[in-house]
């Protein structure tokens, strides 16, 4: 035994990789895939850049500040390690990276896993070691154990004028439904309690595959969103849908939500409430129709939570159009809202629209928008006082637990705070009674303190 132990410690040190993941949940899923493959090949993932043999930086290139953040992250990796491979959205513009950081070893584009891996193999060849090649069945994940992002497609067929994602990530490429369902099944088997469905455009899922059919368990499903929601709903986990573009067939999801098969939660990036601005954004422009649909959805599913994001200060946005947006927001009474000030991205068609809104006006509109959204959020949360809800615990400390109900997505929405010592663990379910609310969070007490 002793000899074996000595031999084990004398094995050649595994190649170590440092990793930085920037950007959205979709980029996070890319990072997880890269890390899972590297780990399977025997690489160790090292939290410190100094100890690593090489660092991979997965960048974001969505808007100006994200590009700056990515370039700074590359600089930090170069300073602390010196051997850096860059991938992700900004990797689609290698000249931008090399101009500021000529020392990077390689630059690969978004969701090109093969290119990242071959760059790693070239600069840091793998060493096979069966002791290091073990990967948990759910792969390496960057989210807590109890929830996971499920990426159903890459790319996008839309051409929103403020966005260069289609140029960076290409046209829609959906994963066939049986592949997605098998991954979801594995995640749930490994302990995941909440599946967060993501893509660039979740509603368009399967269009590129002409809704190809595939068997899963005892049925044949089509590669389309309604079938996916129905099948995922049978796994016994929470299923939350993100980035749903407001196509008409989204209406088909509402009955599934009303029946409790998927969470009554829709994340739809509406972007604006003025039809004129929406037209310039090249988004579906029927703002009033959307209000009527929201009302209908809420009639069919009164517990529905609606989350959205908006852009203020879009080129040419007049004060009247901004006021229209605020009125639309008040009429829609969205539960959760995020807001960005328009920021020109190199290559975006919106840059050519002219009449850019001055930064001071953008900032003032942003403040007014957030005030309005905060009032709506506070009012909608107040209505939940006195209700009993099931929550999933995210974190626990000596002061209590922080959890989320069906109405709160992780990382982007408010939370449910449960004060007082508790024996629950992250990933446990709890039943709570809502006692109070503030602008974004609920305060509750356990009615069933868990195991
Ligand atoms: S739907 Fe529009 S904003 Fe979203 S990725 Fe596609 S082009 Fe960009």
d(C-alpha 114, C-alpha 355), whole Å: 42
- Could you tell me the two tokens for 168? 């960076």
Query: Are the C-beta atoms of 444 and 407 separated by less than 8 Å?
Result: no
User: Does 309 contact ligand 1 (Cβ within 6 A)?
Assistant: no
Atom number, ligand 1, closest to the C-alpha of residue 201? 1
Ligand 1 mutation pick, 60, 154, 165, max ligand atoms within 8 A of CB: 165
What percent of the chain has a predicted confidence (pLDDT) above 70? Answer: 91
Q: Where are the beta strands (DSSP E) in 82-131?
A: 84-88, 106-107
pLDDT for the residue numbered 139:
59
pLDDT for the residue numbered 130:
36
- What would the pLDDT profile of 311-354 be if each residue is shown by its tens digit? 999 999 999 999 999 999 999 999 999 998 998 877 788 888 87
- Could you tell me the two tokens for 190? 């490994």
Residue 162 CA to ligand 1 center (angstroms) comes to 8
d(C-alpha 23, C-alpha 298), whole Å: 32
- Tally of residues, the chain: 451
Closest C-alpha to 341, from 315, 375, 378, 373: 315
- What would the pLDDT profile of 144-158 be if each residue is shown by its tens digit? 779 998 999 988 999
Cβ–Cβ contacts within 10 Å for residue 439, how many?
Answer: 13
Predicted confidence band of residue 132 (pLDDT cuts 50, 70, 90): very low
Atom number, ligand 1, closest to the C-alpha of residue 271? 3
Angle at 90 (CA atoms; ends 87, 91), nearest 5 degrees: 40
Closest C-alpha to 283, from 271, 294, 293, 292: 271
> Mean per-residue pLDDT for 406-435?
93
User: Could you tell me the CA-to-CA distances from 282 to 168, 267, 367, 377, 380 in Å, in that order?
Assistant: 18, 19, 25, 28, 31
d(C-alpha 18, C-alpha 24), whole Å: 19
User: Could you tell me the CA-to-CA distances from 254 to 132, 265, 382 in Å, in that order?
Assistant: 46, 9, 24
Q: Is pLDDT at 449 greater than 70 in this prediction?
A: no
d(C-alpha 207, C-alpha 157), whole Å: 10
Residue with tokens 């500021």: 100
Query: Are the C-beta atoms of 83 and 53 separated by less than 8 Å?
Result: yes
User: Does 166 contact ligand 1 (Cβ within 6 A)?
Assistant: yes
Mean pLDDT comparison of 100-104, 234-238, 410-414, highest-scoring range: 234-238
- What would the pLDDT profile of 162-200 be if each residue is shown by its tens digit? 888 888 778 999 999 999 999 999 999 988 999 999 998
Q: Is pLDDT at 133 greater than 50 in this prediction?
A: no
Compute the half-sphere exposure of residue 430: CA atoms within 13 Å on the CB side of its CA: 31
Query: Are the C-beta atoms of 60 and 23 separated by less than 8 Å?
Result: yes
Residue with tokens 């068609």: 349
Cα-Cα end-to-end distance for the chain: 40
Residue 46 CA to ligand 1 center (angstroms) comes to 34
Residue 419 CA to ligand 1 center (angstroms) comes to 40
Contacts 24+ apart (CB under 8 A), 66-72: 66/22, 66/23, 67/96, 67/345, 69/22, 70/22, 70/23, 71/96, 71/97, 71/100, 71/101
- Could you tell me the two tokens for 274? 């003025």
pLDDT for the residue numbered 1:
36
pLDDT for the residue numbered 365:
97
User: Does 204 contact ligand 1 (Cβ within 6 A)?
Assistant: no
Q: Is pLDDT at 129 greater than 90 in this prediction?
A: no
Phi-psi region of 450 (alpha: psi -120 to 50; beta: other; left: phi over 0): left
β-bridge mates for residue 339, sequence order = 310
Q: Three-state SS for 389?
A: strand
Q: Is pLDDT at 10 greater than 50 in this prediction?
A: no
More confident of the two residues 248 and 384:
384
Ligand 1 mutation pick, 63, 151, 201, max ligand atoms within 8 A of CB: 201
């Amino acid at each position: 035994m002793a000899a074996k132990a000595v031999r084990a410690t004398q094995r050649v040190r595994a190649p170590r990789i440092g990793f930085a993941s920037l950007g959205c949940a979709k980029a996070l899923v890319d990072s997880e895939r890269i890390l899972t493959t590297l780990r399977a090949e025997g690489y160790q993932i090292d939290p410190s850049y100094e100890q690593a043999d090489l660092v991979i930086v997965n960048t974001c290139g969505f808007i100006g500040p994200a590009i700056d953040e990515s370039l700074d992250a590359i600089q930090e990796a170069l300073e602390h390690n010196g051997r850096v491979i860059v991938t992700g959205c900004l990797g689609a513009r290698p000249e931008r990276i090399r101009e500021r950081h000529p020392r990077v070893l390689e630059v690969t584009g978004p969701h090109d896993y093969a290119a990242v891996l071959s760059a790693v193999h070239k600069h840091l060849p793998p060493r096979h070691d069966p002791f290091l090649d073990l990967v948990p069945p759910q792969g390496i994940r960057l989210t807590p154990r109890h929830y996971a992002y499920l990426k159903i497609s890459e790319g996008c067929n839309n051409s929103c004028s403020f966005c260069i994602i289609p140029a960076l990530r290409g046209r829609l490429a959906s994963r066939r439904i049986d592949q997605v369902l098998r991954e979801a099944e594995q995640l749930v088997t490994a302990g995941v309690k909440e599946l967060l469905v993501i893509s660039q455009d979740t509603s368009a899922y399967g269009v590129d595959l002409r809704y190809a059919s595939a068997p899963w368990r005892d049925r044949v499903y089509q590669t389309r969103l309604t079938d996916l929601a129905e099948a995922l709903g049978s796994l016994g986990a929470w299923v939350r849908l993100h980035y749903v573009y407001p196509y008409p067939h989204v209406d088909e999801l509402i009955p599934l939500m009303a029946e409790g098969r998927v969470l009554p939660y829709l994340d739809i990036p509406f972007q604006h409430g003025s039809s004129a601005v929406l037209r310039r954004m090249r988004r579906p422009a029927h703002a009033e129709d959307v209000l009527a649909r929201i009302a209908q959805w809420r009639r069919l599913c009164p517990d529905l939570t609606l989350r959205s994001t908006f852009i203020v200060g879009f080129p040419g946005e007049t004060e009247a159009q901004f006021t229209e947006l605020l009125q639309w927001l008040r009429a829609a009474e969205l539960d959760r809202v995020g807001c960005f000030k328009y920021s020109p991205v190199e290559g975006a068609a919106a840059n050519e629209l002219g009449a850019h809104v001055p930064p001071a006006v953008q900032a003032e509109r942003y403040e007014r928008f957030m005030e309005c959204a905060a009032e709506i959020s506070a009012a909608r949360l107040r209505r939940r006082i006195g209700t009993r809800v099931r929550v999933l615990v995210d974190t626990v400390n000596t002061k209590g637990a922080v959890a989320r109900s069906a109405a709160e997505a992780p990382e982007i929405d408010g939370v449910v705070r449960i004060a007082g010592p508790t024996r629950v663990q992250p990933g446990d379910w709890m039943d709570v009674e809502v006692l109070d609310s503030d602008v974004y969070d609920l305060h509750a007490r356990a009615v069933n303190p868990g195991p």
